[in-house]
């Protein structure tokens, strides 16, 4: 039997053939391979020039031009490559129980200046504050062993969406309107469903879970969810709900809207959690960590969301409120709403709420190892092409990890020796 590295290389070549068929014209096949290899090779920078030097040190300038044209200008379709990547991972994910959830998230990339597409002062998760950055909305297929992004789109802030001059300069498609992150998320979900991806509950943090429109959009699509919310979210406790419309007195229009009054009001999630009896809490283990078993205290109750229901004619459906309150902490730390079926076990609800940790690891690796945030171009097409190729490179690595036990680095890729004295433009030592 051939060594593992040889088998790995054969699989990589077969994977590249699938990707090549997705980019179309034969002239794009060689830069596709070079770009993927450049992303997979070790190196501090994964922008085009340093990758050109690692892949082809004798012809850095020519290779740089070829890769730049392929990424920034060539009109190949992002979705076609992403489909190849996530299907490669799905083939191996089935060995670990199949798709457990679709994880909705976004990732921020700090940027200087204002010319790169989508850059604006907005919240950047990487920095934990508002700053100049780009933000991309993504949807990943996950289980507790394997995960891969399956949809990825730049969020275009409203100030960008309405600026025709900047849109034209950055190559933003004319037909693309402003979309909130939640609207982008629902469009990505519709896209994956149309592509026949195995369906699963949607999981998300409070950045998305607080959106009533997103939760309603998922419910309309009959997609269950487990999404984070804030402690200030207003809820009707178990067995309670808004008052029925006022009794009609025979004059004017018949009242149709739900009501609340001074003595009958919803409460916030924190107050509800503090009022639960000790018997409502139980310790749940959700997975084995690298150093210890991960567990915490949880409670769940059936509630109804109260958000502006005084403008509604019908009561919102009941759903789970899941609360985490670690032993010894002065207050609960996390809250989730869920429309999982009533027979769902507490353990499964907690596992779904916690499975998002994989996505955080994915993006850490996509940035640190594959240079997701290191693209130096300014255009819409280049931004998405670079991200797509990063996801394609990461997809192969994720599939190999799922195939092997224990997982290990790709062993068949070796970087060529860089030209003597080479320093990419923009580095501290370049002239």
Average pLDDT score over the chain: 91
Q: Is the pLDDT of residue 402 over 70?
A: yes
Q: Are residues 154 and 215 in the same domain?
A: no
Q: Are residues 47 and 138 in the same domain?
A: yes
Pick from 79, 144, 157, 83: nearest CA to 116: 157
pLDDT band at 419 (very low <50, low <70, confident <90, very high): low
Task: Give the N- to C-terminal CA distance of the chain in Å, as an integer.
Answer: 50
Is 254 among the domain residues?
no
Distance CA 271, CA 273 (A): 5
Q: What pLDDT, on a 0 to 100 scale, did the predictor assign at position 428?
A: 45
Q: Which of 318, 339, 355 is the last residue of a domain?
A: 355
Q: Which two tokens stand for residue 167?
A: 């849109």
Q: Which two tokens stand for residue 425?
A: 């433009």
Is 136 among the domain residues?
yes
CB 368 within 8 A of CB 361: no
Q: Is the pLDDT of residue 183 over 90?
A: yes
Q: Are residues 185 and 47 in the same domain?
A: yes
pLDDT digits (tens, 9 = 90+) for 86-132: 999 998 998 889 999 999 999 999 998 888 999 999 999 888 899 99
Pick from 185, 268, 275: nearest CA to 225: 185
Q: Are residues 313 and 395 in the same domain?
A: no
Distance CA 205, CA 104 (A): 8
Is 420 among the domain residues?
no
Q: Which of 355, 386, 412 is the last residue of a domain?
A: 355
Pick from 355, 353, 356, 292: nearest CA to 324: 353
Q: Is the pLDDT of residue 421 over 90?
A: no
| Domain extent at residue 117 | 4-205+359-403
Q: Is the pLDDT of residue 396 over 60?
A: yes
pLDDT digits (tens, 9 = 90+) for 67-80: 999 999 999 999 99
Is 347 among the domain residues?
yes
String of b and e for 70-95 (b: at least 16 CB within 10 Å)?
A: bbbebebebeebbbbbbbbbbebbee
Q: What pLDDT, on a 0 to 100 scale, did the predictor assign at position 186?
A: 98
Q: Are residues 19 and 165 in the same domain?
A: yes
Distance CA 3, CA 9 (A): 10
Q: Is the pLDDT of residue 423 over 70?
A: no
Distance CA 376, CA 382 (A): 9
Other Cβ atoms less than 10 A from the Cβ of 222: the count is 8
CB 374 within 8 A of CB 47: yes
Q: What pLDDT, on a 0 to 100 scale, did the predictor assign at position 251?
A: 84
Is 60 among the domain residues?
yes
Is 369 among the domain residues?
yes
pLDDT band at 289 (very low <50, low <70, confident <90, very high): confident
> Does residue 115 or residue 22 have the better pLDDT?
22
Distance CA 357, CA 144 (A): 9
Q: Are residues 351 and 367 in the same domain?
A: no
Distance CA 431, CA 24 (A): 38
Q: What pLDDT, on a 0 to 100 scale, did the predictor assign at position 425?
A: 58
pTM: 0.89
Q: What pLDDT, on a 0 to 100 scale, did the predictor assign at position 147?
A: 94
Q: Which of 296, 322, 355 is the last residue of a domain?
A: 355
- Quick check: bond before 111 cis, omega within 30? no
Is 187 among the domain residues?
yes
Other Cβ atoms less than 10 A from the Cβ of 364: the count is 13
Distance CA 232, CA 346 (A): 23
Q: Are residues 290 and 231 in the same domain?
A: yes
pLDDT digits (tens, 9 = 90+) for 322-373: 999 999 999 999 999 999 999 999 999 999 999 998 899 999 999 999 999 9
CB 300 within 8 A of CB 343: no
Q: What pLDDT, on a 0 to 100 scale, did the predictor assign at position 290?
A: 74
Cβ within 8 Å of residue 52, ≥6 positions away: 34, 38, 60, 63, 64, 66, 67
Lowest-pLDDT range of 95-99, 224-228, 264-268, 326-330 = 95-99
- Alpha carbon distances (Å) from 196 to 20, 158, 191, 388, 417: 22, 32, 9, 20, 44
377: Cα within 13 Å, side-chain hemisphere: 23
Q: What pLDDT, on a 0 to 100 scale, did the predictor assign at position 179?
A: 96
Distance CA 396, CA 11 (A): 9
Over pLDDT 90: what percentage of the chain? 79
Q: Are residues 56 and 195 in the same domain?
A: yes
Distance CA 149, CA 392 (A): 9
Q: What pLDDT, on a 0 to 100 scale, did the predictor assign at position 420?
A: 62
Is 250 among the domain residues?
no
Q: Are residues 292 and 377 in the same domain?
A: no
Phi, then psi, of 331 in degrees rounded to 5? -155, 160
Write out the DSSP string of 73-86: I----HHHHHHHHH
Q: Number of structural domains, the chain?
A: 2
Q: Is the pLDDT of residue 296 over 50?
A: yes
Q: Are residues 191 and 304 in the same domain?
A: no
Q: Are residues 174 and 240 in the same domain?
A: no
CB 34 within 8 A of CB 20: no
Distance CA 36, CA 395 (A): 11
Q: Are residues 196 and 119 in the same domain?
A: yes
Phi, then psi, of 59 in degrees rounded to 5? -135, 55
């Amino acid at each position: 039997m051939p060594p593992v590295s040889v088998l790995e290389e054969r699989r990589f070549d077969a994977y590249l053939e699938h990707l090549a068929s997705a980019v179309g014209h034969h002239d794009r096949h060689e830069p596709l391979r070079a770009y993927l290899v450049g992303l997979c090779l070790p190196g501090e920078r994964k922008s085009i020039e340093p990758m050109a030097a690692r892949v082809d040190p004798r012809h850095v300038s020519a290779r740089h031009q070829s890769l730049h044209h392929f990424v920034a200008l060539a009109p190949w379709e992002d979705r076609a490559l992403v489909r190849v990547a996530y299907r490669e991972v799905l083939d191996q994910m089935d060995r670990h129980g199949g798709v457990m959830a679709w994880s909705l998230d976004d990732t921020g990339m700090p940027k200087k200046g204002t010319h790169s597409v989508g850059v604006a002062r907005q919240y950047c998760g990487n920095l934990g504050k508002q700053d100049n950055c780009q933000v991309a909305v993504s949807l990943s297929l996950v289980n507790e062993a394997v995960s891969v992004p399956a949809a990825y789109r730049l969020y275009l802030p409203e100030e960008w969406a309405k600026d025709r001059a900047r849109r034209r300069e950055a190559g933003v498609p004319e037909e693309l309107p402003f979309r909130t992150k939640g609207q982008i998320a629902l469009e990505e979900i519709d896209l994956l469903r149309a592509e026949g991806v195995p369906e699963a509950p949607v999981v998300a943090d409070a950045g998305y879970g607080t959106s009533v429109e997103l939760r309603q959009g998922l419910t309309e699509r009959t997609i269950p969810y487990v999404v984070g919310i804030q402690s200030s979210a207003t809820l009707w406790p178990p067995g309670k709900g808004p008052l029925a419309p006022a009794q009609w007195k025979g004059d004017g229009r018949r009242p149709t809207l739900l009501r609340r009054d001074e003595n009958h009001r919803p409460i916030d999630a924190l107050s509800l959690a503090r009022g639960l009896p000790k018997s409502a809490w139980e310790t749940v283990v959700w997975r084995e960590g690298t150093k210890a078993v991960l567990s915490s205290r949880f409670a769940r109750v059936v509630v109804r969301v109260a958000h502006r229901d005084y403008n509604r004619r019908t009561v919102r459906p009941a759903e789970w409120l899941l609360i985490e309150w670690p032993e010894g902490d002065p207050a609960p730390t996390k809250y989730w709403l869920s429309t999982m079926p009533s027979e769902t076990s507490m353990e499964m609800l907690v596992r779904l709420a916690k499975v998002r940790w994989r996505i955080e690891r994915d993006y850490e690796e996509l940035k640190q190892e594959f240079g997701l945030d290191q693209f130096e171009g300014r255009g819409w097409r280049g931004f998405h092409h670079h991200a797509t190729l990063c996801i394609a490179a990461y997809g192969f690595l994720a599939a190999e990890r799922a195939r092997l036990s224990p997982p290990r680095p790709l062993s068949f890729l070796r970087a060529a020796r860089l030209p003597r004295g080479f320093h990419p433009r923009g580095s501290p030592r370049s002239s």
